[in-house]
């Protein structure tokens, strides 16, 4: 009888917890519903177990949140963000959209696809300091009709100035040019929404994650950390940086975007930089340069659960996760959700590295 009583008490606690989760999610989703949004993504994206990778690492139980399957021109995390960013842009009735980043930018690919769906021309300003061939993401940009301008800029963090210059040039020509900002707090708000979706999936599948792991360079992690706070979800979020920003520490930048998003949501919370866990020791030789451990992680994920990562972002995040398992910082007591943010088309621009991966 005592055992039966303990089980009933446990069931009541679980029921109360699930009810609390639903109520809090409903409140947040009502706030999110106030923001204009265009439908671009196939949602919800799947939450799947990685049983063979879990066994291979002999560590935590690992699940993957498949935001590589959002569906817009090969998908990725930027599609969620563009639902909010594009809706905001449409209010300005632009004649042309402008954005950009690195030559293998996943943001630029998905922004181009969104612009095509909205029937608006788009101009991309892409960093190509190494004179890379037309392959991967940039090939898709051109295929979808983007007007692409390459700049020889060694510092990725200075690309925003080149994009702003292009906006100014187009406006000087009398065109209503609008910049699609990948760092808008709206991009973080999209990932507050994702956290509501993810928690509902965890509750439905009876998953109690202790960690969430992702490749992070700012807004996506900002939205996740803010979402966890708003949901009162005791979930440790670890980002793995693909580059180092030269204008400010990643933690400061991420916290600032999270706080701008919180203000837009009318939430009385503040995220301190000290609350942002962002690892910068898996970058390797530099941004968009494959890391040996990252290539090894790509091979392991592909050959255990057929999970295809990319050499720029997700491979380095997975390398960090694997390293933490090997060092005993992630154990069998943990349940980890790996957020797959996409990036698959970039693989085709890294043929030599991927061929070499098979020989590691």
Name the residue among 238, 246, 37, 223 with its Cα closest to residue 154.
246
CA–CA separation, 133 and 122 (whole Å): 21
CA–CA separation, 83 and 85 (whole Å): 6
- Through-space distance between the first and last CA atoms of the chain, rounded to whole angstroms: 58
CA–CA separation, 306 and 49 (whole Å): 12
- Using CB atoms within 10 A of its CB, is residue 325 exposed (0-12), middle (13-18) or buried (19+)? buried
Q: What are the residues whose beta carbons fall under 8 Å from the beta carbon of 329, sequence distance 6 or more? A: none
Q: Can 105 be counted among the known catalytic residues?
A: yes
The catalytic position among 17, 105, 208, 315 is: 105
CA–CA separation, 244 and 156 (whole Å): 9
Helices 219-230 and 250-265: crossing angle in degrees, nearest 10, is: 50
List phi, psi (to 5°) of 275: -85, -5
Q: How many CB atoms lie within 10 A of CB 270?
A: 12
| Sign of the alpha-carbon dihedral angle for 282, 284, 290, 294 | negative
- Using CB atoms within 10 A of its CB, is residue 280 exposed (0-12), middle (13-18) or buried (19+)? middle
CA–CA separation, 118 and 184 (whole Å): 20
Residue 3 DSSP SS3: helix
Helices 77-90 and 106-118: crossing angle in degrees, nearest 10, is: 40
CA–CA separation, 303 and 241 (whole Å): 25
Active site residues: 105
């Amino acid at each position: 009888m005592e055992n039966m009583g303990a089980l009933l008490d446990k069931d009541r606690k679980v029921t109360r917890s699930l009810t609390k989760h639903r109520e809090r999610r409903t409140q947040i989703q009502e706030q999110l519903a106030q923001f204009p949004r265009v439908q671009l993504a196939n949602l919800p994206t799947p939450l799947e177990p990685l049983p063979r990778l879990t066994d291979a690492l002999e560590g935590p139980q690992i699940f993957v949140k498949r935001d590589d399957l959002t569906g817009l021109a090969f998908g990725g995390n930027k599609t969620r963000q563009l639902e909010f960013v594009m809706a905001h842009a449409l209010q300005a009735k632009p004649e042309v959209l402008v954005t950009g980043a690195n030559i293998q930018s996943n943001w630029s690919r998905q922004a181009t696809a969104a612009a095509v769906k909205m029937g608006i021309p788009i101009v991309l300003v892409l960093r190509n300091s190494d004179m890379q061939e037309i392959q991967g993401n940039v090939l898709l940009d051109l295929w979808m009709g983007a007007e692409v301008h390459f700049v020889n800029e060694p510092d990725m963090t200075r690309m925003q100035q080149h994009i702003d210059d292009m906006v100014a040039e187009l406006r000087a020509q009398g065109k209503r040019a609008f910049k699609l900002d990948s760092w808008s707090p709206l991009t973080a708000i999209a990932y507050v929404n994702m956290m509501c979706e993810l928690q509902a999936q965890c509750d439905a599948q009876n998953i109690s994650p202790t960690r969430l792991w992702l490749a992070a360079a700012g807004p996506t992690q900002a939205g996740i950390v803010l979402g966890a706070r708003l949901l009162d979800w005791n979930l440790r979020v670890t980002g793995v940086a693909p580059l180092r920003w030269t204008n400010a520490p990643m933690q400061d930048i991420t916290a600032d975007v999270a706080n701008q998003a919180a203000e837009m949501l009318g939430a009385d919370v503040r995220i301190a930089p000290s609350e942002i866990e962002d690892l910068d020791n898996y970058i390797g030789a530099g941004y968009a340069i494959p890391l040996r451990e990252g290539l090894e992680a790509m091979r392991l994920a592909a050959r255990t659960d057929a999970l295809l990562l990319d050499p720029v972002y997700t491979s380095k995040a997975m390398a960090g996760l694997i390293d933490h398992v090997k060092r005993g910082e992630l154990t069998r007591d943990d349940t980890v959700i790996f957020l797959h943010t996409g990036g698959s088309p970039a693989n085709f621009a890294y043929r030599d590295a991927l061929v070499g991966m098979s020989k590691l």
